[in-house]
Amino acid sequence: MIALGFTHDKEWAPYLGVIGMALMGSGALYVLARGVKEGKRWATSPAILANLIALGVSKYQFEAGLYILAVPIVIVALLIILGCIKIIRDGAQDSFAD
């Protein structure tokens, strides 16, 4: 996006908006990753939602024929979703053991 801002005669506002949203999104994903790593219960459902969105993005990558992008997205998203479900299940079993 930064390169397009320099190479095209467009207004800067849309490019800055997209860059700002990308930075905010990456910051939110960082906070979620830290929360999941620390075992915080509030972080698992947003992490699952973010990865379900990633699966939707991979669908469009598959449709565009960009398999080299789509396959890693699917693999990582599914692994994270399964890991979050395992964390939720293990937490539920621990709470019943108490």
How long a stretch of residues is the chain?
A: 98
Segments forming the whole domain that contains residue 73 = 2-97
Burial category of 51 from C-beta neighbours within 10 Å (exposed 0-12, middle 13-18, buried 19 and up): buried
6 pLDDT above the threshold of 70: no
pLDDT for res 1: 61
Average pLDDT over residues 7-17: 74
Q: Total structural domains in the chain?
A: 1
Residue 42's H or E segment, with its range, is none
Tens of pLDDT, residue by residue over 29-62, are 899 889 888 878 888 888 899 999 999 999 999 9
Tens of pLDDT, residue by residue over 66-86, are 899 999 999 999 999 998 888
Residue from 54, 25, 27, 40 nearest 84 by CA: 40
Please name the residue ranges forming H helices in the chain.
Answer: 2-7, 12-37, 44-63, 67-97
Considering the entire predicted model, what is its pTM? 0.71
